[in-house]
Amino acid sequence: MYPASFDYFQAENVEQASRLLREYGEEARVIAGGQSLIPFMKYRLALPKYLVDIRGIPGLSFIDKKDGCVRIGALTVHREIEESDLIRSQLPIMRDAAPLIGDPQVRNLGTLGGALCHADPAGDWGPVVLALEGRLKCVGANGERELEAKDFFVDAYSTRLQPDEVLTEVVLPVPGAKSGGAYLKLARRTGDFAMASVAVQLTLDEAGVCQHIGIGAGAAGRTPLRVPDAEGVVRGEKISATVLKEAARRLSQAADPIPDLRGSGEYKREILKALLQRAAQIAASRCKERR
C-alpha cells in the first residue's frame, strides 16, 4: 500500500499553517501525528494534494493548569497524557482513556488534537472531552475562537473546524472535590477502536446525591455522543442500580451506533448500557476515594 503523490509543507507557526490551508482549500489536509491520516492515504481513501505538517510548530505540546482548567496543547501525544502526573491527579478519567488508544507506537506519535479533528465516531477522546465539558481552541484566518466540545463534532470524520482553522488547545475544567470520573471501552481486540465506550464524570454531595454528571459515549452514533437525557435521570439522585439502569436505557435510546463487523447497532446499544452502569459505579467509587 503506497499513497498517491502529494506536496508537503512544514508549517513553522499556526498562522502559516492557516495561510497554506486557505490557499489550497479542499485539496489540503493538516497532518500532525498522522496515525489516522496516513493509513487512510495508503489505502487511497484520502487523497490530499497538499499536506500541511504542523507537528513542528513550537508551543502546541503542553499540559498545564490555569484558572481551574487543565489545558492541553493540541500536539500533545497520547503517551504524554498517559504519563502526566497532573492528568493523573486532576483528570483521572483521561488516564483511563489514554492507554486504551491504539498501541504504544501510535500513542508515541498520535496527538490529542489530531484524534479529535479526525473525529472517528469510535475514537476515545471524543466521549471523554464531552463528559468533561471541554472547550476547543481553534485558530484561523479570522483569529482565535473557542468551541464547546458538544458543538465540535458534526458527523463521522467531520468537525465544526473551518477549512483554514487549526485546533490548538483543549481546555478542560477540573471538577471539584467529591468528583470522580471513569472511562470504559469495549474492544474486540486490544488497541482496536471501540465497539462501544462510555465516559462518566460525576460530582456527588456529602449524602451521595449526584450534583453534576457528564456522560459521553463513543461508537454510539456518527459522532461522539453527549447524553443529557441520561444525565438528567441521575442528577439529583443517589447512585443506585435502578437509577443507572434507567440512565443506561436512555443512553441506548439516544444512541444510533453504526453497525459493522464488530456488531449490529442493537448489540452495541446493549454494550453501551452495560458500560454506562459499570463506568458510573467506578466513577462513584472514585468520588468516595476523593472524599
Partner 1 sequence: MPDRKRVEIKINGESYSAEVEPRLLLVDFLRGIARLTGTHVGCDSSNCGACTVMMDGVTVKSCTLFAVQANGREILTIEGVAKDGDLHPIQQSFRDHHALQCGYCTPGMVLSALFLLSKKPNPTEREVRLGVSGNLCRCTGYQNIVDAILAAAKRGGQVGRRPT
Partner 2 sequence: MSTGTGKGVIGQAVKRKEDKRLLIGKGIFVDDIVLPEMLFASFVRSPYAHARIKGIDASGAMKLPGVVSVVTGEEFASFIKPLEAHSLLDTSAAESLKDYGIAVKKAIYHGEPVAAVVAVDKYVAKDAIGLVEVNYDPLHPVLDPEESMDDKAVRVQDGTPSNVVWHRIFSYGDLDKAFSGADLVVKSRLYFHRVMTAPLEPYAVIASFDKGGGILTINSNSSHPGRDAFLIARSLNMSPNKVRMICQDNGGSFGNKNNMYPYIMLVGYLAMKTGRPVKWIMERNEHLLASSHGNEMIYYGEMAFKNDGTILGMKARMIADEGSELRSEPRGATNWIRQLTSVYRFRNIQMDINCVLTNKCPTASMRSYGKQQHSFLIESLIEKAARQLTMDPAKIRFKNFILPKEMPYKNPTGGVYDGGDYPTCLKRTLKMVGYEAWRERQRKLREEGKLIGIGISVAMEAYGGNKSQMALWRKGLKSSGDTGSAMIKIDAEGHVSASVDSMSMGHSHETTTAQIIAEILTLSPDDIDVFPGFDSWITAYGERGSGSYGSRFGIVHHGAILGAAQKMREKILRHGAFMLGIPVKKVDLVQGRVRVKGTKKSVGLKEVGFNAWMNTGVLPKNLEAGLVAHHVYNAPLKPLEAPELGRGNFSLTYSYGAAVAVVEIDRETGMTSLLKFVCLEDPGKCINPMVCEGQVHGQIGHQMSAALFERLIYDEDGRLLTSTFKDYLAPTAADLPKLETAIMETPALFTPLGTRGMAEGGGAPLVAVVNAVRDALSPLGIELENSYIEPEDILKRIRGSSHR
Residues near partner 2 (CB under 8 A): 1-2, 4-5, 43-44, 103, 186, 188-192, 261, 263-264, 267, 270-271, 273-274
**Shortest Å distance, C-beta 193 to partner 1:** 12
Cα separation, 239 vs 180, in Å, equals: 13
Site for partner 1 in 207-266 (CB under 8 A): none
Mark 89-128 with x for binding to partner 1 (rule: CB under 8 A) and - for no binding.
----------x--xxxxx-xx-------------------
Site for partner 1 in 50-79 (CB under 8 A): 51, 53, 55, 79
Core vs surface per residue 227-256: b (16+ CB within 10 A) or e: beebbebbbebebeeebbeebbbbbbebbe
With CA atoms as reference, report the closest residue to 38 among 25, 55, 23: 55
209 φ, ψ (degrees, to nearest 5): -90, 135
Return the number of other C-beta atoms located less than 10 Å from residue 163's C-beta.
Answer: 14
Is residue 151 near partner 1 by the rule CB under 8 A? no
Cβ-contact 226, 132 below 8 angstroms: no
Is residue 21 near partner 1 by the rule CB under 8 A? no
**Shortest Å distance, C-beta 79 to partner 1:** 7
How far CA 176 is from CA of 98, 212, 233, in Å, comes to 22, 10, 21
Q: Binding partner of residue 271 among partner 1, partner 2, none, CB under 5 to 8 Å per kind?
A: partner 2
Cα separation, 187 vs 252, in Å, equals: 18
Is residue 47 near partner 1 by the rule CB under 8 A? no
Give the interface segment with partner 1, choosing from 41-49, 131-139, 194-202, 275-283 (CB under 8 A): 41-49
How far CA 122 is from CA of 41, 234, 245, in Å, comes to 19, 25, 23
The residue (of 25 and 39) whose beta carbon lies closer to partner 1 is 39
The residue (of 216 and 263) whose beta carbon lies closer to partner 2 is 263
β-strand partners of 159? 153
Q: Binding partner of residue 106 among partner 1, partner 2, none, CB under 5 to 8 Å per kind?
A: partner 1
Q: Which residues have C-beta within 8 Å of that of residue 143, sequence separation ≥ 6?
A: none
**Shortest Å distance, C-beta 101 to partner 1:** 11
**Shortest Å distance, C-beta 72 to partner 2:** 26
98 torsion bin: left (phi>0), alpha (psi -120 to 50), beta (else): alpha
Q: Binding partner of residue 135 among partner 1, partner 2, none, CB under 5 to 8 Å per kind?
A: none
Cα separation, 278 vs 199, in Å, equals: 10
Q: Binding partner of residue 46 among partner 1, partner 2, none, CB under 5 to 8 Å per kind?
A: none
Is residue 38 near partner 1 by the rule CB under 8 A? yes
Is residue 34 near partner 1 by the rule CB under 8 A? yes
β-strand partners of 238? 209
**Shortest Å distance, C-beta 33 to partner 1:** 9
Residues making contact with partner 1 (CB under 8 A): 1-8, 10, 31, 34-35, 38-39, 41-43, 51, 53, 55, 79, 83, 99, 102-106, 108-109, 190-191
